[in-house]
Structure 1
């Protein structure tokens, strides 16, 4: 055999070996790619995304798309090396350490369950924010969704318990309860006033030091709102809190005369709180790609994501900065009428 043929044979064997190794070698990374979009004033599986009963609604047009990020990998289904390499070469996806999405302190199932709870909270916050913007009054409460096995709340608090006060101080939202618990020195006890069925109780729970040194008791909570009419949101298998802004806009569009989009294809992202404040999200680059592929020309961007978004904005997509639901509504009004300023993202 000639030296050239031998060299080619050895090189081919090495390439084949590396290919096989890459296909079977699992790596602790997760690939993030553009996920599906859903029109919040449209339908999913022939059912409206937002259904309002008990209140007058109005026709809508155009699109108010929520955007998502799809992920591949995780502790129970790690990707192979070749998949990771393809991701690193693709500018529309991101390859991140597995621990970024699935912290070592929580299982993949726990993370997915938390995403489901965050989506439920996001929907309620979106309803509350829309009603706040419209100055429609509503009531609030917070209930326990679950407790973490082995943590202090396990066995003391139960699913469905409604928390009304912490340390003797009335509370009405998840953030208020979390902050009240964090204010307690780890190892000390905290007393929750709860309603369990028809019974009102004071339950004292020890605290422990959790991730990042924060005081925790080991429970998952969910806001419960008492709205004056029914708002049902149907988005299928989507988790996380980042669709809050777009849910709020969809609800507002249906509850008010006129068409918020002016027939335009609008997409956006951002968490929402009951006051209407818009918060930052992850995966902004992948979400913009998904929005543009779905036809959007305008992208509502949380102010804290603007600098990152400016570095990766696809051609043909206009970034509009949103710090609040009210500001987003004003921006859409300005886009539709051509009157007023539209807040733009900047790189700084």
Structure 2
């Protein structure tokens, strides 16, 4: 009897020990396992005025401020973080294949830095264009592909700058000039390399289009060569550090406009924004709206501008913070004007 009791006690101790070690194993596996997901959480707001440098032209110190919002990205999550993302609404889990595609993690980081580089350049261009400047200039006609009468004479490394001594700056200029000639005519082209080197003159006998035999045909796919316009009265540089992605485009555009012009575009308020921007001023969609809204709200922003079709997601997490959706730069300027800013009267200083 006593021996049976002893055996039962030993058995219970073994069971307790096994359970203890199983628990320790589970806790350790949850801590050290790495799952193939990215976790996106609320990040930070970043004021922009100190990141924008006007190297030529006048600048104005704003009393309000534009901020771009970021999310915190964890690219190596354990079991606990996976559970957090599963049950916590402010954390968004995305499988790594959807994020990386065919890129590895280092390539993905490089890709995001390139997105930011393009976004900064685009934002400055949109701002300058809104102020009546031309940030780019057409300087000739590049060649996307070669065939027909140009094959063996022109290459995709060439740029056409004149036809029969008449300068051509855009693809439409070239098309107009070619259509002014007849098939079998010999024309003179002034050509140089893409970087402007190796200028030369060549002769080409025009062919005829298969679908319209009476129309002259050069046999290339033309594309306008665009270069930065270095003759602008203002020059702007943007330093975003090691932040990647393109979702700061709208914020950068608005901040450049605010700094280059007198008056208060913000109306003196703290404005957070998110949204990509293209050269036509269209505001594009971005990810992480929920996390960015939480970030903006916690930072005490007065207004959060989001891309079109993101309003409902943002409002769900905005609390008392005002949120507005915009589809174009003009929409954002209208919202800011209604807030008390000078979005409807932006101009460069006269002197």
- Listed as ranges, the matches of 1:15-30 within 5 Å are 15-30=23-38
Aligned to 1:329: 333
Mapped partners of 2:77, 2:69: distance in 1: 24
Who wins on radius of gyration, i.e. which is larger?
Answer: 2
- Corresponding residue of 1:121: 118
Q: Which residue of 2 aligns with 1:217?
A: none
- Write the deviation string for residues 100-127 of structure 1: whole angstroms up to 9, x where unpaired: 2111x11222221111111111111101
Q: Which residue of 2 aligns with 1:226?
A: 229
Number of aligned residue pairs? 268
How do 1:1-348 and structure 2 match up within 5 A? 1=9, 9-41=17-49, 48-73=50-75, 78-103=76-101, 105-140=102-137, 195-196=194-195, 198-199=197-198, 225-226=228-229, 228=232, 229-310=234-315, 312-336=316-340
Q: Output the CA distance in 1 between the equivalents of 2:273 and 2:83.
A: 30
1:300 Cα deviation after fit: 0.3
Provide the aligned C-alpha RMSD in A.
3.3
Q: Deviations over 1:212-245 (max 9, x none)?
A: xxxxxxxxxxx86325121011121111111010
Residues 116 and 339 of structure 1: CA distance in aligned 2, closer, same or farther (over 3 Å) = closer
Please give the secondary structure, in 1, of the residue aligned with 2:43: strand
Gaps in structure 1 of 5+ consecutive residues? 42-47, 143-156, 173-192, 202-222, 341-348
Cα distance change, pair 338–12 in 1 and its aligned pair in 2 (3 A)? farther
The CA deviation at 1:25 is 2.0
Q: 1:31 to 1:246 in 2, by over 3 A?
A: same
Contact 1:23–1:80 (8 Å) recurs in 2: yes
Cα contact 1:49–1:234 (8 A) shared by 2: yes
Alpha-carbon distance between aligned partners in 1 of 2:122 and 2:67, rounded to the nearest angstrom: 18
Shift of 1:3: 8.2
Show structure 2 runs of 5+ residues with no match: 1-8, 140-154, 162-168, 173-191, 201-225, 345-351
Question: Does the 8 Å CA contact 2:126/2:253 hold for their aligned counterparts?
Answer: yes
Supply the distance in 2 between the matched residues of 1:163 and 1:113 (Cα, whole angstroms).
Answer: 30
Cα shift at 1:308: 3.3
Contact 1:279–1:304 (CA under 8 A) maintained in structure 2: no
How far 1:79 moved relative to its partner? 2.4
> Relative to structure 1, is the Cα distance of residues 54 and 293 closer, same or farther in structure 2, using a 3 angstrom cutoff?
same
- Return closer, same or farther for 1:13/1:30 CA change in 2, 3 Å cut-off: same
